[in-house]
Structure 1
Amino acid sequence: MEDEHVCIDDLIQHIGPASTIPLPGAFYGVFDGHGGTDAALFIRNNILKFIVEDSHFPTCVGHAITSAFLKADYAFADSSSLDISSGTTALTALVSGRTMIVANAGDCRAVLGRRGRAIEMSKDQKPDCTSERLRIEKLGGVVYDGYLNGQLSVSRALGDWHMKGPKGSACPLSSEPELQEIILTEDDEFLIMGCDGLWDVMSNQCAVTMARKELMIHNDPQRCSRELVREALKRNSCDNLTVIVICFSPDPPPRIETPPSRVRRSISAEGLNLLKGVLDC
């Protein structure tokens, strides 16, 4: 188990009185390590610092996050006491007011639960994905049997400096994240962040359906995270398992009612999503 994670529900309190954060915020991350734990632990401990200390923060948060991923990767490369050949994927979610920015480098995944419907908030960055394969081959890399240069099953990661060139040079293995920004509404109930060990055995909709059902019963996101991990283990997941569930309201998800119809009985879109999740499971 080489994963790390971070959960900060109150950014202003965490950073202290010198905080430049203009609105109440939170920060979460999942880091799926490989080749040792050094990279995952280093990025987990330092990525937020690089974000809030970036010159673009907080006026241009997306730019600050992208810059922070690169700076954290370079800082890790300069750590003489750590094994810089270890690597990690990095999936983060920064919430500021009602704005949420998800950043991803690797194959962890964030999925939003919106009134029972699964909304994918990140894209798995695999070497055999068309856009990633084109980028890799343009930079002189190859994809062999789904692996970058026959070695790594992700096309973006921090660390793995035995596979990268000099700092600042373009290389097939990138540490630059892809970002997705969203304005949260009352329909957005929770976010699931998990490493690929979860998504290898469970669809997005199945995870959202299961999480929503659990939250309606006990409204405990930590317990909900554990239940998702247990379910993945029951399904014989063969990889590391780290799951975070973040709720956007102190209240449990409401029961979804089907509006009455004078013409005929029908099922709402939300109801169809719930049914699809049960069938997927």
Structure 2
Amino acid sequence: MGNFLATPITEKDTGGGEGNGLSFGLSTMQGWRTGMEDAHVALINPEGLPPGCSLFAVFDGHGGHLAADLAAERITEHLSTVMKSDVFPGGKAEGADPDKIGKAMRDAFMNLDQNIRDTFEKNYGSDQSGCTAITALVTPTHIIVANSGDSRSVMAKDGRTVEMSFDHKPINAGERTRIQNAGGLVRSNRVNGDLAVSRALGDFSYKARADLPAEQQQVSAEPDIEVQKIDKTEEFLVLACDGIWDVMSNDELCAYIRQLMNNGEADLKLIAEEILDNCLRAGSRDNMSVVIVKFPGAKLGQGGGVAKIREERARLEKAEQEASGEFGDNDETGVAGALPASKSS
């Protein structure tokens, strides 16, 4: 297929940081795709927002990388523009109404979408790219997540998995109704038989009805908002594109991260890289991006962490190669470097 490479590109773009009582790690991989269309944001105390705020986002592009790149470049500016004094009284993050923050994030998404359209029309007339968007703003008291599309956020909290977003798919009843009311149809679980998500930034060919407001177009950028009050039982928050969720469930991913932490791994960058490698082995064919945000409530155990797991994987792969060479191609005793930690308990 033209959209895939003969062998995956496994080099990673990895980073991390800490502040505001949080630490984060992230990693991205092109994988089997012919190009990298994901983009991300991870900022402690982003410019234009009050001290104490942290911003994390993943943008999963399709039809090209431009929409995702512009979204990542401009989301902070649009958030700071709409979050004026009525959102953060006195310019302070403490005491802000989370519902007002959520409404401002909704407005920022819609304004950003229009800004991307204006940029396309001015400079990239033929570009038809779009991107999903999952964005989390963490204040001293709340976590507010805005989602448009099928990238996803989950939170590990007091041993549980809490959904912080819900996928926007054309087959969902409310999404299908909006698509049909705007003159579109759902065929093969896709908008007009083509687009697999029903909400996204960009994708302006699906937003062509001049008589309808932006939120009523076949594809809308309008995000759903989820709010969670911080109560000190939070372990970690995850934001990831569907290249991760295609092969791991919410519970599986949270269990995997928790197992690595219980095994002594404190470096979130290494945990993020392990997630990508694990998903690649599990069969993901898409670009992959994951951001992990650790809260003070996360607990670390004792053990060798990711380094020990990689050492054990290398040993098993070597043993498999030796067994294959000794017993021939029909031998089926190899383990292919499988990671026990990839399974939820």
Matches within 5 A, 1:102-251: 102-165=145-208, 166=210, 168-169=213-214, 170-216=216-262, 217-249=264-296
1:67-125 Cα offsets, whole Å, 9 max, x none, are 11011110111112235411000000001112010000000010101133211110011
Give the deviation of 1:136 after TM superposition: 1.8
Is contact 1:76-1:84 (8 Å) kept? no
Give the deviation of 1:279 after TM superposition: 5.8
Q: Distance in 1 between matches of 2:129 and 2:281?
A: 29
- Name the residue aligned to 1:53: 81
Give the deviation of 1:65 after TM superposition: 0.6
Give the deviation of 1:252 after TM superposition: 4.7
- Name the residue aligned to 2:123: 81
Tell me which amino acid in the other structure corresponds to 2:76. Answer: L
Is contact 1:190-1:246 (8 Å) kept? yes
Match of 2:111 among 71, 74, 91: 71
1:151-177 Cα offsets, whole Å, 9 max, x none, are 100000000112212484431100000
Q: Distance in 2 between matches of 1:246 and 1:236?
A: 25
- Name the residue aligned to 1:262: none
Q: Distance in 2 between matches of 1:88 and 1:253?
A: 34
- Provide the secondary structure at the position in 1 that maps to 2:220: coil
Tell me which amino acid in the other structure corresponds to 1:62. Answer: G
Is contact 2:256-2:343 (8 Å) kept? no
Q: What is the TM-score of this pair, normalised by structure 1?
A: 0.84
1:183-204 Cα offsets, whole Å, 9 max, x none, are 1222111011110111111111
Gaps of 5+ in 2: 1-35, 89-95, 302-340
Distance 1:2 1:279, change over 3 A: closer
Tell me which amino acid in the other structure corresponds to 1:221. Answer: L
- Name the residue aligned to 2:53: 25
Is contact 1:197-1:237 (8 Å) kept? yes
Is contact 1:108-1:193 (8 Å) kept? yes
1:246-273 Cα offsets, whole Å, 9 max, x none, are 0012x75156xxxxxxxxxxxxxxxxxx
Is contact 1:91-1:102 (8 Å) kept? yes
Is contact 2:142-2:228 (8 Å) kept? yes
Distance 1:20 1:154, change over 3 A: closer
Question: Which structure features the higher share of strand residues?
Answer: 2
Tell me which amino acid in the other structure corresponds to 1:73. Answer: D
- Provide the secondary structure at the position in 2 that maps to 1:28: strand
- Name the residue aligned to 2:37: 2
Distance 1:100 1:168, change over 3 A: same
Tell me which amino acid in the other structure corresponds to 1:4. Answer: A
| Cα RMSD (Å) | 2.0
1:205-237 Cα offsets, whole Å, 9 max, x none, are 110011012123121222111111111001011
> Which range moves more in the overlay, 208-217 or 165-174?
165-174
Tell me which amino acid in the other structure corresponds to 1:109. Answer: R
- Provide the secondary structure at the position in 1 that maps to 2:272: helix
List 4+ stretches of structure 1 deviating above 4 A.
Answer: 277-281
Gaps of 5+ in 1: 256-276
1:40 equivalent in alignment to 2:83 = no
Is contact 1:51-1:57 (8 Å) kept? no
Give the deviation of 1:280 after TM superposition: 4.8
- Name the residue aligned to 1:272: none
Q: What is the TM-score of this pair, normalised by structure 2?
A: 0.69
